[in-house]
Amino acid sequence: MLSLTLTVFGEFLMKMKIRKLILAPIMAVLFTAGGIAVTHAQELVVVSWGGAYSASQQKAYWDPYMAENPGITIINDDSASEGVAKLRAQAEVGNVTWSLLDAIASDTISLCDEGLIEEIDHDSALAPAPDGTPATVDFGELIVSPCFVPNIVYSTTFGYRTDLVKVAPTSIADVFDLEKNPGKRSLEKKPINNLEWALLADGVMADNVYDVLSTPEGVAQAFAKLDGIKDQVVWWTRGAQPPQLLADGEVVIASAYNGRLFSAIEEEGQPIAMMWDWQVFDLDGFVVPKNAPHREEVMKLLRYATDTQRLADQAKYISYGPARESSAAMVGKHADLGIDMAPHMPTAPENAKTTLLFNYEWWADNQDDLNEQFASWIEQ
């Protein structure tokens, strides 16, 4: 009991940032006097997306790293979907507790602009490819912001219940067509992707989508299209929800990250199929918050988790494409199921007939405005 009191009290003093003064020696005495082992393992809090995705990272990155570095414990905080807001709040409050954050590309652009995450020297901080190619070349254009270390290419696409839809949807227009396919749908509670899809379903050409969205009329057009299905939509906020909603039969069609659908279909054997029309490619990667705890350990971890082998390993557990060119060649079979992973990748030619290239810059500039509009629109 005494030791608990001291731990709690000690932690408070450390948070007060006065330990560097006189308190450090006093506390040292207190701790030794209490006979408590304070040398417990360093805990690195890694923030990611939960569910099947976190599981794949656990197996491909964190478990092997912890096995090699017994002093380190890596803990998963699954709140990446509120990552940007929470990190802003942590910075505002001056209490950053996250060591590493997994975030989508456009978010990292704004976080970098706001000075909330560290700029990274990719060539020195990251491992080169096995043949010596420097990281900047190996990742190539996927490094979209100086703060960003990409790890996967994923896509947001659609899954549907094979046994519950009237006819299998084949195009994005079917998602918005309540007559052809009655029943509830699930979309992400964010304007991103939904506005693009609404315009595509409304007949706007893919090349013009962002031009149209840059005008108030274009935004209104997109919302008007969404209005058509609004009361049939269950909004999801976490990547794990759409597969769950589909599996529960709560909705018949849902937008979802392709890897989550893969896991529900192949690993859990749910009666769900993919609809790849106008899948939206996006990047996901790691960023290091400014003033992150255990910075040195984090940089080591980052170097390890984004090397060629690790990125290739992740593709054994979930159908996301590794961000390194050198890893792409190493993608093989699923670790447990033994099926070929290549045809399940969003980039497979069969799946990538119509794809929308996600415009990170455009969203970095506009997402706060549109988020606001979207939040009001949903409540109306």
Residues that bind another protein (CB under 8 A): 4-5, 7-9, 11-12, 15-17, 43, 45, 49-51, 54, 73, 75-79, 81-82, 85-86, 88-90, 92-95, 97-98, 110, 113-115, 184, 234-235, 237-238, 240-241, 244, 247-250, 268-270, 364-366, 368-373, 375-380
**C-alpha radius of gyration, the chain, whole number:** 23
**Whole-angstrom Cα distance, residue 332 to residue 340?**
6
Indicate the residue among 52 and 280 with the shorter CB distance to another protein.
Answer: 52
Helix, strand, coil percent content, the chain, rounded in steps of 5: 45, 20, 35
Q: Tell me the closest approach of the beta carbon of residue 371 to another protein, in angstroms.
A: 7
Q: Tell me the closest approach of the beta carbon of residue 72 to another protein, in angstroms.
A: 12
Collapse the DSSP code of 119 into the 3-class scheme (helix H, G, I; strand E, B; otherwise coil) and give the result: coil
Residue 235 CB coordination number (10 Å):
14
Q: Tell me the closest approach of the beta carbon of residue 147 to another protein, in angstroms.
A: 12
Indicate the residue among 7 and 347 with the shorter CB distance to another protein.
Answer: 7
Q: Tell me the closest approach of the beta carbon of residue 113 to another protein, in angstroms.
A: 6
Q: Tell me the closest approach of the beta carbon of residue 150 to another protein, in angstroms.
A: 22
Indicate the residue among 23 and 234 with the shorter CB distance to another protein.
Answer: 234
Residues 189 and 226: beta-carbon distance below 8 Å: no
User: Hey, what amino acid is at 203?
Assistant: G
Q: Tell me the closest approach of the beta carbon of residue 277 to another protein, in angstroms.
A: 25
Indicate the residue among 184 and 300 with the shorter CB distance to another protein.
Answer: 184
Q: Tell me the closest approach of the beta carbon of residue 48 to another protein, in angstroms.
A: 10
Indicate the residue among 102 and 307 with the shorter CB distance to another protein.
Answer: 102
Nearest CA among 190, 237, 196, 186 for reference residue 369: 190
Structure tokens that stand for 83 in this block: 């990552």
Give the burial string for 131-140 (b: 16+ CB within 10 Å, else e): eeeebeebbe
**Whole-angstrom Cα distance, residue 74 to residue 275?**
36
Q: Tell me the closest approach of the beta carbon of residue 77 to another protein, in angstroms.
A: 4
Q: Tell me the closest approach of the beta carbon of residue 372 to another protein, in angstroms.
A: 5
Indicate the residue among 190 and 295 with the shorter CB distance to another protein.
Answer: 190
Indicate the residue among 148 and 281 with the shorter CB distance to another protein.
Answer: 148
Residue 271 CB coordination number (10 Å):
14
Strand-pair partners of 155: 281
Collapse the DSSP code of 235 into the 3-class scheme (helix H, G, I; strand E, B; otherwise coil) and give the result: strand
Residue 286 CB coordination number (10 Å):
25
User: Hey, what amino acid is at 283?
Assistant: L
Indicate the residue among 202 and 365 with the shorter CB distance to another protein.
Answer: 365
| Residue owning tokens 């079917």 | 174
**Whole-angstrom Cα distance, residue 157 to residue 261?**
9
**Whole-angstrom Cα distance, residue 30 to residue 41?**
20
Could you tell me which residues come within 8 angstroms of residue 193 by beta carbon, excluding any fewer than 6 positions away? Answer: 156, 255, 280, 358
